[in-house]
Amino acid sequence: MTKQESVNFVINKLYELYPEIPIPLDHKDPYTLLIAVLMSAQSTDVRVNQITPLLFEQADNPYDMVKLTVDDIREIIKPVGLSPMKSKGIHGLSQILIDEHNGEVPQSFEALEALPAVGHKTASVVMSQAFGIPAFPVDTHIHRLMYRWNLSSGKNVTQTEKDAKRLFPKELWNDLHLQIIWYGREYSPARGWNLDKDIITKTIGRKSVIQDYYKSKKS
């Protein structure tokens, strides 16, 4: 199978499996999505979705958020981990949104990435999911699967993002990055992986990955 045939197979299979694509993090507007994505770093979407209602009950916009202290925010979000850094980021970016953006989340990568605690991946998620602007945020699932599917070298997430953007049509990026995440969770996890259920990797996967899988099953 050529690289283009592999790409087409991935696209067709993902749309077959996930014609309707749920967004993993619960939110109601760009601001609450931005906060939820920031909180999700080195945490799980399930845990974040348990905690965001508690935070948003107190403050679901930057004006109310800055009325809370950093310590107030930290106490609420402690269960998601890294709460000292995340609480400072949430408070700090909320103040900047008020001071520099009329309390609105900006619709540009440059402005988003200038906010405290907001990196390229967080900005990409917000641009894609809040504003519908084509982006390809790479998380651990996408990084793992692009390597397993022999569509990227797996050197780093920057390279994986470049490869994904080069191989997949731009108008599909916003769907595909979510579909790959759902597929990775359901069929191709990092551990406890069943290749027989992982039809994409079984069909187009990197030979060394498939060989290693069968070796591990024999040992």
Task: Note the pLDDT of residue 37.
Answer: 98
Domain that holds residue 146: 3-20+137-218
Distance CA 119, CA 6 (A): 31
Last residue of one domain, picked from the residues 129, 152, 177: 129
154 and 102 housed in the same domain: no
13 and 61 housed in the same domain: no
Percent of the chain beyond pLDDT 70? 100
117 and 37 housed in the same domain: yes
Task: Give the count of domains, the chain.
Answer: 2
Residues acting as catalytic residues:
121, 139
Residues 6 or more apart whose Cβ sits within 8 Å of residue 115: 89, 92, 93, 96, 97
Task: Note the pLDDT of residue 218.
Answer: 83
13 and 34 housed in the same domain: no
Last residue of one domain, picked from the residues 100, 129, 158: 129
119 and 194 housed in the same domain: no
Task: Note the pLDDT of residue 85.
Answer: 98
Task: Note the pLDDT of residue 150.
Answer: 98
Longest Cα separation, the chain: 61
Residue 116 and residue 99 in contact, taking contact as beta carbons nearer than 8 Å: no
Q: Please state the pTM of the whole predicted model.
A: 0.93
34 and 16 housed in the same domain: no
36 and 72 housed in the same domain: yes
Task: Note the pLDDT of residue 217.
Answer: 85
Task: Note the pLDDT of residue 158.
Answer: 96
208 and 147 housed in the same domain: yes
In this prediction, the residues of the chain whose per-residue pLDDT falls under 50 are none
Task: Note the pLDDT of residue 154.
Answer: 85
Nearest residue to 129 (alpha-carbon basis) of 31, 16, 8, 4: 31
Distance CA 167, CA 2 (A): 12
Distance CA 2, CA 65 (A): 51
